[in-house]
Amino acid sequence: MGIIDLSRDAAILHYITTDDPAEAAALYAAAREVREEQYGRDVYFRGLIEFTNYCKNDCYYCGIRHGNRNAERYRLTTEQILYCCQMGDMLGYRSFVLQGGEDPWFTDDRITEMVEAIRRKYPEHAITLSIGERKRESYERFFRAGANRYLLRHETANDEHYRKLHPAVLSLVERKDCLFALRDIGYQVGAGFMVGTPYQTPECLLEDLRFLEELDPHMVGIGPFIPQGDTPFGSRPGGSLEQTLRMLALTRLLLPKTLLPATTALGTINPLGRELGLLAGANVVMPNLSPKAVRKLYALYDNKICTGDEAAECRFCMEGRIRDYGFIPEMSRGDSRVEFAVPAFKGSPDP
Ligand code: 5AD
Ligand code: FES
């Protein structure tokens, strides 16, 4: 592209904050070009199964935080989870994401059993866990049981900011340790952050990008912060569409090979948010496979889209939207082009 030089911090800060539509458009175009070089026009599908909304943590932004007495809690049984996988498989998904709060009921034994059960039925599928911070040994166990990917957003790479978003028992150092351990074990790792959280500055976002360059994750989840009424940040303003798109594009330019989802949160703040995300360099979508009965309850933020839709509706709705914008739905496992560690022990690495 040539015109966009991101070698200096000042240049990145400029693009983080620019409100010049022409500059933003150039940024998106450059990101699209890099995305095409790396992944063509394919958009990878992952089926998201939100299997528990119990959480022991109290993150100030999150609707399923422990302290939210208004949250109606649920946990799916192994049978329900396997049923979601079966539905997903029938709809063509080859990649399942098991996401939940940090739910102590799901001990390492129970998570291991769940992963083993899915792996037995689906030997070739990608199994992704997104269940927060655990000990390295636990991550190793899940990996041996057949999990091959792990999503754990770092949320913010600035220590002071991290402490403004989380209670003192949570720390950025531990979050980062988890991410490096996961990468080291051999998982394909997803980090990421929210755009527009309270107290976030452009410098925080720059640190996010610099941290991502250091970690070199296989995937980066970026979505706008959206207030949830029952949380301490319930009446704060949310993140903007434009800034989220700029952060997606910058991430694509700085980490060309990473997988970049156009998130549900982005689709929530704008009806075409996900499409615009794809046009700013994103190349993954994660439609919901959770049972319709519990979807509304996995309320990290207010007004979440697709909570009234069946898995099949989202699958085909997303396919249509993607095609309308000139992209190609791709149902394979969709492995990242970022290299991953060769596991030190026998596990279930990606091919
Ligand atoms: N708005 C947007 N995203 C949120 N998340 C949690 N709460 C919110 C919110 N209020 C994101 C966090 C978490 C991911 C699962 O959802 O980044 O890592
Ligand atoms: Fe869920 Fe469109 S993606 S209905």
Probe residue for ligand 1, chosen from 155, 264, 269, 301 as the CB with the greatest number of ligand atoms within 8 Å: 301
Distance 226 CA to ligand 1 centre (A): 8
Ligand whose nearest atom lies closest to the CA of 47 = 2
Q: What is the pLDDT of residue 348?
A: 55
Distance 351 CA to ligand 1 centre (A): 31
Q: How far is CA 312 from CA 32, 87, 97, 186, 278, in A?
A: 29, 8, 16, 32, 21
For residues 220 and 260, is the Cβ–Cβ distance under 8 A? yes
Q: Please report where in the chains the tokens 């150039």 appear, as a residue.
A: 26
Distance 263 CA to ligand 1 centre (A): 10
Pairwise CA distance, residues 253 & 124, whole Å: 31
Give the end-to-end CA distance of the chain in Å, rounded to a whole number.
33
Ligand 2 and 309: CB distance under 6 A: yes
| DSSP per position, 30-46 | HHHHHHHHHHTTEEEE-
Reading the block at residue 116, the tokens are 């083993």
Distance 288 CA to ligand 2 centre (A): 8
Distance 313 CA to ligand 2 centre (A): 6
- Determine whether domain 28-330 maps to CATH 3.40.50.1100: no
350 pLDDT more than 70: no
Pairwise CA distance, residues 293 & 76, whole Å: 11
Give residue-wise pLDDT tens across range 88-103: 999 999 999 999 999 9
Ligand 2 and 186: CB distance under 6 A: no
Of 244-253, 259-268, 299-308, 336-345, the one with minimum mean pLDDT is: 336-345
Distance 306 CA to ligand 2 centre (A): 5
275 pLDDT more than 90: yes
Q: How far is CA 84 from CA 102, 128, 161, 293, in A?
A: 20, 14, 37, 12
Ligand 1 atom closest to residue 153's alpha carbon, by position in its atom list: 18
Domain ranges of the chain: 28-330
351 pLDDT more than 50: no
Give residue-wise pLDDT tens across range 186-239: 999 999 999 999 999 999 999 999 999 999 999 999 999 999 999 999 999 999
Q: What is the pLDDT of residue 10?
A: 97
Ligand whose nearest atom lies closest to the CA of 97 = 1
Q: What is the pLDDT of residue 170?
A: 98
Q: What is the pLDDT of residue 1?
A: 44
Give residue-wise pLDDT tens across range 26-62: 999 999 999 999 999 999 999 999 999 999 999 999 9
Ligand 1 atom closest to residue 152's alpha carbon, by position in its atom list: 18
Sheet hosting strand 188-195, strand order edge to edge = 47-52, 95-100, 126-130, 149-151, 188-195, 219-224
Ligand 2 and 313: CB distance under 6 A: yes
- Which band of pLDDT confidence, cut at 50, 70 and 90, is reported for residue 339? confident
Ligand 1 atom closest to residue 62's alpha carbon, by position in its atom list: 7
Give residue-wise pLDDT tens across range 105-152: 999 999 999 999 999 999 999 999 999 999 999 999 999 999 999 999
Beta bridge mates, 49: 98
Q: What share of the chain is helix, strand, coil (3-state, %, to 5)?
A: 40, 15, 45
- Which band of pLDDT confidence, cut at 50, 70 and 90, is reported for residue 340? confident
State mean pLDDT over 257-261.
Answer: 98
**Residues in contact with ligand 1 (CB, 6 Å cut-off):** 61-62, 153, 155, 194, 223, 225-226, 228, 265, 300-301
For residues 97 and 128, is the Cβ–Cβ distance under 8 A? yes
Distance 37 CA to ligand 1 centre (A): 30
Q: 161-194 burial string, b = 16+ CB within 10 Å, else e?
A: bbeebbeeebebeebbebbebbbbbbbbbbbbbb
Q: What is the pLDDT of residue 69?
A: 98
Q: How far is CA 145 from CA 109, 119, 129, 134, 254, in A?
A: 10, 8, 12, 15, 33
Beta bridge mates, 209: none
Measured from the Cβ of residue 209, the count of other Cβ atoms closer than 10 Å reads 23
Ligand whose nearest atom lies closest to the CA of 322 = 2
154 pLDDT more than 70: yes
Ligand 2 and 184: CB distance under 6 A: no
Give residue-wise pLDDT tens across range 292-337: 999 999 999 999 999 999 999 999 999 999 999 999 999 999 998 8
Distance 248 CA to ligand 1 centre (A): 16
Distance 113 CA to ligand 2 centre (A): 31
pTM above 0.75, yes or no: yes
Reading the block at residue 303, the tokens are 């007004």
Q: Compute, in degrees rounded to 10, the torsion defined by CA atoms 338, 343, 349, 350.
A: 20
Query: Ligand 2, atom 4: nearest CA belongs to which residue?
Result: 314
Sheet hosting strand 42-45, strand order edge to edge = 284-285, 42-45, 328-330
